[in-house]
Amino acid sequence: MTLHFLTFVKDPPTPPPDVEYPLDGDKIITIPGSLREYAAEALFELDGDMKSIATLLLDSIIKAPMDARKTLAQNIVVMGGSSMMPGFKHRLAAELKSLVQDPAYSRKMNMNTFKFHSPPSKENYTAWLGASIYGSTDAVNTHCITKDQFITNNRHIPDWSDQAWRALSSSKSV
């Protein structure tokens, strides 16, 4: 895999300002802006397995059926507290566009357009909100498994779309 690095046309942007963070009592710690910026870089730098947040997203899209990949790339919802960092989505989009030029991805994905949608709530609690809504419906009962079913099923979570498993689990619960 070829590594792609974003290059700046002008001088690199100045780091964010330092922040003073109060601790217990009268102690205050100063967190340098460059350190705060570097913490976000960990999401975009390749780790020992050659993975970053952008490569993980592309790998997930590639695992989908070929005819669904374009739809997935056009319907990305980014959530979680880290996604609220200023410039996060822009940087992710730039990383994705750069990575799809790499032969490892360009052979499997014939696209270079990604579309991000805004979640219906703040990004830091969107997943919790969705799980809360789902958990309060009757649908959760159709997609749950007991400990005994898990053990009987060789410690495997079933494919919920498998109608044979649904029929078997429904007959056991009666």
Domains located in the chain, CATH noted: 1-121 (3.30.420)
Average pLDDT over residues 4-33: 80
Average pLDDT over residues 112-126: 91
- Summarize pLDDT for 73-92 with one digit per residue, the tens: 999 999 999 999 888 999 99
Distances (CA, A) of 12 to 7, 89, 150: 9, 18, 53
Q: Is the pLDDT of residue 174 over 50?
A: no
Average pLDDT over residues 43-72: 91
Q: Is the pLDDT of residue 143 over 90?
A: no
Cβ pair 62, 108 in contact under 8 A: yes
Distances (CA, A) of 170 to 139, 167, 173: 14, 5, 5
Q: Tokens 């566009």 label which residue?
A: 97
Given pLDDT bands bounded at 50, 70 and 90, which one contains residue 6? Answer: low
Q: Can you tell me the distance from the alpha carbon of 20 to that of 17, in angstroms, rounded to the nearest whole number?
A: 10
Q: Can you tell me the distance from the alpha carbon of 65 to that of 63, in angstroms, rounded to the nearest whole number?
A: 7
Instruction: Name the average pLDDT for the chain.
Output: 84
Q: Is the pLDDT of residue 7 over 70?
A: no
